[in-house]
Amino acid sequence: MVTISDVARHAGVAPSTVSYVLTGKRSISADTKSKVRGSIRALGYQPHLGDRAPSARGTNVIGLVLPLRAGMHLPVVMRFVAAAVTAARRFDLDLLLMTADEGASGLRRAVAGAMVDGFLVMDVEMNDDRLPLLRQLSKPSVLIGHPVDAKGLTCVDFDFEAAGAKCVDHLADLGHRSIGFVGAPSAVYRRNTGFAHRTMAGFSAAAMRRGVVATTLPAEHDHDSVLAATTTLIRANPSMTALVVHNEAALGWITGCLRAAGRQVPGDVAVVAICPDDLAEQMTPPLTSVRLPAGELGRHAVNLLVAKLDGRQPPALMLLPPQLSRRASTPDPAAPTR
């Protein structure tokens, strides 16, 4: 017997969308209606009076658990949020932003009071105290990020460890043998946040593998901190000829801070950033970057959660590989620079 869920899978929509097409209880775009009706015909589905979405969908609302913590760069964080909102609307789902910064206890209260069908969880730590509760919940969840122990969880993440290594390999291939690293604010490392920890670990491991001298420092989200970090790196290692920056808020100050320390980009110091492409392209000079796929992560997270809501079992971990785009900040050693 063909069910609403079968039609939904065939049409690539949520079961609730099929229900709305059948009942007319909610406005659905003409394209989506056409797709659903085509699937109904193709599968030979026979609607019954009172057909509705399965009970797994109670509210058609999903929660995005995003604790607002020290060291977060909100402009980039909001890219994840915007992508998740857009993806959710494709499934006729609304998104409820939940910002309590109280770890497991805050999540417990949010879960108790929220009328949602499932959860997306951000700012995941390596040993996150919210994990036991997430494993116990009757409602499904998807983590944007992955902890050390991801057993029983569904996670989507960018391969930050490989991203840190890719930066080193690119610079080492160009002949650089002394590379600095400007990282996230210190609070992010103190929390052992997954993305920051893994990036620095990948950078350090690759530097050791390539025989590169590596020096790492955090930087806060202000000019003076970025200036202090770059100055300290150069003083600690005057032979430093390249810099990796994993701190979006710092990017606008990096070139000027290096100049204040007597170094020109790219003539004296080559720079690679880990950030969204458009941010790297706006810098002067445009920065070589490993792209942070915020939009893809947000979309994949919603798709995974919808799969769980529909009774399917998605992969436990989806890890997006890093992609490096070369720009003016990492020229060939023989190339003339201005």
Residue 236 and residue 84: Cα distance in Å, rounded? Answer: 42
Higher pLDDT, 43 or 248: 248
Q: Which whole number is the average pLDDT over 80-86?
A: 94
Tell me the sheet residues that pair with 319.
157
Q: How far is CA 87 from CA 63, 78, 93, 256, 296, in A?
A: 13, 14, 9, 38, 10
Same domain, 193 and 242: yes
pLDDT in tens, 290-330: 999 999 999 999 999 999 988 888 999 999 999 999 999 99
- State which residues form the domain around 15: 4-43
Same domain, 171 and 259: yes
- Count the domains in the chain: 3
Nearest to 199, CA basis, from 143, 154, 158: 158
Same domain, 174 and 239: yes
Q: Say whether pLDDT at 25 is over 70.
A: no
Same domain, 83 and 130: yes
Higher pLDDT, 100 or 25: 100
Q: Say whether pLDDT at 334 is over 80.
A: no
Residue 190 and residue 317: Cα distance in Å, rounded? Answer: 25
Same domain, 144 and 100: yes
Q: Of the given ranges (76-85, 91-100, 206-215), which has the lowest mean pLDDT?
A: 91-100
Same domain, 29 and 73: no
Whether the CB-CB separation of 280 and 325 falls below 8 Å is answered with yes
Residue 286 and residue 87: Cα distance in Å, rounded? Answer: 30
* 175 domain-assigned: yes
Same domain, 29 and 133: no
Q: Say whether pLDDT at 127 is over 70.
A: yes
- Six-digit token string for 266: 């790219």
Query: Which pTM does this prediction carry?
Result: 0.81
Q: Which whole number is the average pLDDT over 154-162?
A: 98
Give percent of the chain above pLDDT 90.
Answer: 65
Instruction: Give the model's pLDDT for residue 138.
Output: 84
DSSP characters over 303-319: HHHHHHHTT----SEEE
Same domain, 31 and 93: no
Label residue 336 by pLDDT band (50, 70, 90): low
Same domain, 228 and 302: no
Q: Which whole number is the average pLDDT over 179-202?
A: 96
* 92 domain-assigned: yes
pLDDT in tens, 9-20: 888 887 778 877
Q: Say whether pLDDT at 197 is over 70.
A: yes
Nearest to 310, CA basis, from 101, 54, 136, 77: 54
Same domain, 312 and 236: no
* 51 domain-assigned: no
Strands, E assignment, 82-197: 94-98, 118-121, 141-144, 155-158, 178-183
Helices (H), 211-288: 223-236, 251-260, 277-282
Strands, E assignment, the chain: 61-65, 94-98, 118-121, 141-144, 155-158, 178-183, 213-218, 242-245, 270-275, 288-291, 317-320, 324-325
pLDDT in tens, 26-80: 667 888 888 888 888 888 887 653 444 444 456 788 999 988 888 888 899 999 9
Residue 42 and residue 118: Cα distance in Å, rounded? Answer: 31
